[in-house]
Amino acid sequence: MCLVTLAYECHPNYRLVLAANRDEYYERPTEAAHFWTSCPSVLAGRDLEMLGTWMGITSTGRLAALTNYRDPSSQILSAKSRGFLVSNFLCNTESPKEYMLEVVNNRTFYNGFNLLVGDLKSLVYFNKLSASAEVLKPGIYGLSNHFLNTPWPKVQKSKEALANYLAKQPFLKPHSLFEILADIEQAQDRDLPETGLSQERERLLSSIFIPGTDYGTRSSTVILIDRHNHVIFTERSFIKSQEHLSEVSYEFNLI
């Protein structure tokens, strides 16, 4: 997943508002979000190549999301799959702080990553290059393939769009959040980050929604958790560009 925009404990009617795009090669096999038979409380998509996931929530309110940290020069050839950082949290019972301590201690086994894990009591963030995890305060956050709130154009744009929407609406609709996630406008060349990729590639990856030919946005996900612990989880999957493949939606009350 390459963009996560979220509002945490800063809306009068919602504990959490999350809108995210997962970017991946189109050929990589993937299952749409569903409740897993192997861990029935987990609602998440699944990467069928490594069997982990990029984001999910449980019926008890555990939440996790991951993005890669973009640094082509520091790749580990025998690294563990980062998708297990998400699924391991969702399928277990440690508190977010306890789990992140384990992740911090084992971070060298993985290529660069950003990880968010939380429950109804706290939300914790960690980047592999950081010295320690950070317990997030209420606010609006954006995360792509660098650090939390790094002001890349797509991060700034999606945060501003989310903040504007939340300021106007007491009750939220997934459709409006999908509109934020569907923005294909690329950044100006002068605003592109420098992460070791070519300028052409940086330009392609600079939009909120990436309409690539071999690589692009595979799915968009919206999660709403209101003050009564009612969850709306909606995911749209795509083939290429913005050709709509499927949509799944779940509603449930946290246990």
CATH number at residue 202: 3.60.60.10
DSSP 115-140: EEEE-SS-EEEEETTSSS-EEPPSEE
Q: What is the pLDDT of residue 1?
A: 62
Whole-prediction pTM: 0.97
Cross-strand partners of 43: 35, 57
The residue-averaged pLDDT of 223-235 equals 98
Return the closest-CA partner of residue 247 out of 225, 219, 216: 219
In this prediction, residue 244 carries a pLDDT of 74
Name the region of 72 (left: φ>0; alpha: ψ -120 to 50; beta: rest): alpha
Q: What is the pLDDT of residues 117-139, one digit of tens each?
A: 999 999 999 999 999 999 999 99
Q: What is the pLDDT of residue 111?
A: 98
Backbone torsions φ then ψ of 201, nearest 5 degrees: -70, -40
Would you place residue 243 in the very low, low, confident or very high pLDDT band (cuts 50, 70, 90)?
A: confident
**What SS3 state is found at 84?**
helix
- What would the two tokens of residue 145 be? 């393939």
At residue 189 the predicted structure's pLDDT band, cuts being 50, 70 and 90, is very high
Mean pLDDT of the chain: 96
Range(s) of the domain holding residue 242: 3-253
CA separation for the pair 139, 6 (Å, rounded) = 8
- What is the distance between the terminal CA atoms of the chain, rounded to a whole angstrom? 27
Residue 178 pLDDT exceeds 70: yes
pLDDT tier at 67, thresholds 50, 70, 90: very high
Residue 240, pLDDT above cutoff 80? no
How would residue 91 be classed by pLDDT, with cut points 50, 70 and 90? very high
> Dihedral sign, CA of 190, 191, 197, 201?
negative
| Phi and psi torsions of 141, nearest 5° | -130, 155
User: 């939380």: which residue's tokens?
Assistant: 118
Total domains in the chain come to 1
- DSSP state for residue 48 in the 8-state scheme: T
Four-residue CA torsion sign, 85, 129, 215, 58: positive
